[in-house]
């Protein structure tokens, strides 16, 4: 990843320290948080808040996710002592998490259903010249069968359940991490590991708050 000259290095380190303090221990994930300039994915009016550990608006009623939650999900997607091969992200938004993932996986595919956000992410990511990241405009509920199977799948938006197509496209031994709505107000982080072609092991973790997973493209 090409790193443009900028003056936020100390802020990025401080953000990685906050993410560490929130409980994330995975060294490579923390390093990636300390490397990606989060402000570059946001509106200039929000740059002053870019290194706070909070979700912030990116337009179209969507948000850039909270860094400690991004890191927690990426940490969960890693199996101990297994480097990440091919990863699929549902919900590119402005492209921040996709940039973080590009530092941790061999290949990253990221799908967004809102055309102007897909275009925004493309523009925001261009200066970094990341060559292992592909952005796709489409409905992530369908996954990306042409690039499957994936060693890791991460959802940045909460559905009522986990779409079957995504479970099908998970490699055996791979992990999917998603926020899942429990009811109108509550969501939980769920990690699913594919144990064999038919068997999936599901673990329910922390309470979270994400924008909704919606079907179709706009
Ligand atoms: N990954 C982003 C978070 C963006 S918010 C980050 O780095 O901060 C979640 C995004 O998921 C929104 O942009 C929303 O439009 C998108 N989304 C919701 N449902 C989707 C679907 N079915 N397919 C693809 N993207 C979807």
Residues with Cβ within 8 Å of 90's Cβ and at least 6 positions away in sequence, in order, are 110, 111, 140, 141, 143, 153, 154, 155, 156, 157, 166, 213
Counting Cα atoms < 13 Å in the Cβ hemisphere of 209 gives 8
What are 162's two structure tokens? 């986990």
Domain boundaries, the chain: 54-208
Q: How many CB atoms lie within 10 A of CB 14?
A: 15
Report CA-CA distances (Å) from 196 to 23, 141, 167, 175: 30, 22, 12, 12
CA 156 – ligand 1 centroid, Å: 5
CATH match for 54-208 among 3.30.420.10, 3.30.230.70, 3.90.550.10, 3.40.50.150: 3.40.50.150
What are 182's two structure tokens? 């429990």
CA 211 – ligand 1 centroid, Å: 8
- Pick the catalytic residue from 65, 68, 102, 110: 65
Percent of the chain at pLDDT above 70?
Answer: 97
Place of tokens 């979270």: 208
Q: What's the pLDDT band for 3 if we cut at 50, 70, 90?
A: low
Is 65 among the residues known to form the active site?
Answer: yes
What are 141's two structure tokens? 């509920």
User: Mean pLDDT, to the nearest integer, of 106-119?
Assistant: 98
Residues with CB under 6 A from ligand 1: 62-65, 90-93, 96-97, 111-114, 117, 139-141, 156-157, 211, 213-215
Summarised one tens digit per residue, pLDDT across range 132-184 is 999 999 999 999 999 999 999 999 999 999 999 999 999 999 999 999 999 98
């Amino acid at each position: 990843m090409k790193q443009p000259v900028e003056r936020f290095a100390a802020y990025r380190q401080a953000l990685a320290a906050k993410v560490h303090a929130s409980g994330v221990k995975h060294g490579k994930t923390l390093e990636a948080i300390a490397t990606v300039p989060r402000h570059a994915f946001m509106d200039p009016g929000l740059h002053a808040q870019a290194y706070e550990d909070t979700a912030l608006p990116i337009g179209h009623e969507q948000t850039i996710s909270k860094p400690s939650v991004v890191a927690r999900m990426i940490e969960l997607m890693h199996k101990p002592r297994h480097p990440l091969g091919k990863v699929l992200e549902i919900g590119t938004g402005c492209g921040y998490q996709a940039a973080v993932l590009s530092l941790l996986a061999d290949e990253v595919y990221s799908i967004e259903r809102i055309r102007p956000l897909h275009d925004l992410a493309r523009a925001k990511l261009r200066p970094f010249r990341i060559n292992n990241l592909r952005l796709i405009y489409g409905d992530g509920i369908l996954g990306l069968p042409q690039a499957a199977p994936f060693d890791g799948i991460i959802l940045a938006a909460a559905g009522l359940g986990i779409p079957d197509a995504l479970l099908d496209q998970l490699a055996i031994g791979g992990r999917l991490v998603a926020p899942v709505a429990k009811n109108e107000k509550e969501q939980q982080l769920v990690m699913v590991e594919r144990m064999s072609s038919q068997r999936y092991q599901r673990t329910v973790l922390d309470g979270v708050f994400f924008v909704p997973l919606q079907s179709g493209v706009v």
